[in-house]
Structure 1
Amino acid sequence: MYSNILKIVLIFSVALFFSCSSSDDSNPPASERTYADVEADFQEIDFQTGINDVSLVNTIGVEWFFRVIIPEGDLSSNPRPLVMTLHGAAGGNPDAHKTTACYAEPGFEAIDPIIISPNGGTQDWLQFANQDLVLSLIDLAVKYLPVDDSKIVVNGYSNGGNGAWFYGETQPNLVSAAIPMASSYSTYSTQGTPRRMDIPMYVIHGEDDELFSLEETQEWVEATNSVGSDVTLEVAPGLTHNEPCNYVEYLKNAANWLQTDVWN
């Protein structure tokens, strides 16, 4: 399953750390941190119903900041869908992961999920460091939170929408559906042929998006569907790029699609 992919990411992460550290033997690391340490720290977090803004230190000493939203009710025998929602931009805003009230919380209300919103820092979601972050948080959530691992969704806006495409395409054994919003993600290979997506996707795009062309996204959706993908495109009439909170009603449509078309 996805554990092999996660192991590769973590092994590379540790290898990168030691290769960088070896150049300065005068300042060796105080201690070797393992993924087991990360797991232990995650288990120590006292998650409460509602919003939890927390952090973890990863295996190379980098602090991950992220938000976890736990729905109300007894979840002990009622595992919930997991929504990994990826914020837009990559400007290093320390509060970027705390914008869930804008569209993720109201948009996914109908499926009552656990929501995780990580902070991607100054890198985009396709970079190795953020792959480590996203895949590790999903792994930890599946292991230690009441998550239905058959209902894992990746969602995002703008840069986060590109991430939703990416993880949907590259993690089909982990993610059951992807919901990119206001994104720009080519579905053509370097040879110019369309690539097939192995999981269903629901793409939301503003009619008047001035940053990422609707026409281009339409072309990419049509191209991947021509080779057997199941990608739905919903156009938001009159909406531009820099108004993510106004996309809530379209995200609600996507949540309904999850229930009626993907998980039925």
Structure 2
Amino acid sequence: MLYLPEGYADQPQKTWPLIFFLHGYGDRGDNLFLLAKASPFMFIREKGPLPFIIVAPLLSAYQGYSSFPEEYLDGVLAEVQGNYRVDPQRIYLTGLSMGGEAAYRLAVHRPETFAALVLLSCYVDSITYSLLDRIKDLPVWVIHGENDTVFPLVKAQQPVEALEAVGGNVQLTILEDHDHDTWTDTYSDPAFYDWLLEHQRP
């Protein structure tokens, strides 16, 4: 699923920031409406245009991100960069639940690619956890529901503490009275997009 910002066609010399979004387990399949309800696309649908290119690979109902090596997501990203005017200094990676775990994994293998990383309602697998020092220089924002029963809060706190221990640029937001769904409030909030635009690679 791809979104091009307003003005893209009219400004052929301009490059644009990119949001690379990885969806959760419940959004697998071919129902784009589900993806639009739980992603940055929801802001566009409900509130209006955003000044980003947005790309979201959509997995089939029988797939998980663990089915693909990092090279698969690399290929998606390379295809977008090859065909659209992406600002290479402003590529942002975000994911929720299963997609957040995959975003962590992709980030530690490609830390030089991204300007910032936002993880919602997710955990970190043991191999990725051991590699978190690779993203200590990357701005990381972890958002988790206080009452999440899918991935309890400690699952979000552990990687944050690991990044803090190596001097990482990380912040944790705990949403009170939220369960697993932190994305509805996060992706519909203009402050989320403002935060992304505060960061770019040197």
TM-score using structure 1 length: 0.64
SS of 1:153 mapped into structure 2: strand
Q: Find the counterpart in structure 2 of residue 172 from structure 1.
A: 111
Shift of the 205–116 alpha-carbon distance from structure 1 to 2, 3 Å rule, reads same
Q: Unaligned 5+ residue runs, structure 1? A: 1-66
* Aligned mate of 2:124, from 185, 188, 192: 185
Given that 1:167 and 1:175 are in contact with CA atoms closer than 8 Å, whether structure 2 keeps it comes out as no
Distance 1:87 1:97 in 2: 13
1:1-264 paired onto structure 2 within 5 Å: 67-73=1-7, 74-89=10-25, 92-95=28-31, 99-105=35-41, 106=43, 112-121=51-60, 122-128=62-68, 131-186=70-125, 188-189=129-130, 195-197=133-135, 198-242=137-181, 244-249=183-188, 252-260=190-198, 262-263=199-200
Given that 1:195 and 1:227 are in contact with CA atoms closer than 8 Å, whether structure 2 keeps it comes out as yes
What is the RMSD computed on CA atoms of the aligned residues? 2.8
Given that 1:210 and 1:240 are in contact with CA atoms closer than 8 Å, whether structure 2 keeps it comes out as yes
Given that 1:97 and 1:118 are in contact with CA atoms closer than 8 Å, whether structure 2 keeps it comes out as no
SS of 2:56 mapped into structure 1: strand
Cα offset, 1:83, TM superposition? 0.9
TM-score using structure 2 length: 0.81
SS of 1:202 mapped into structure 2: strand
Distance 1:184 1:252 in 2: 25
* Larger of the two Rg values belongs to structure: 1
CA distances 1:187-240 after superposition (whole Å, capped 9, x unpaired)? 642xxx964424221111111111111123113201222112211111111111
How many residues matched? Answer: 192
The answer to which structure, 1 or 2, has the higher relative contact order (CA under 8 A, 6+ apart) is 2
Shift of the 127–75 alpha-carbon distance from structure 1 to 2, 3 Å rule, reads farther
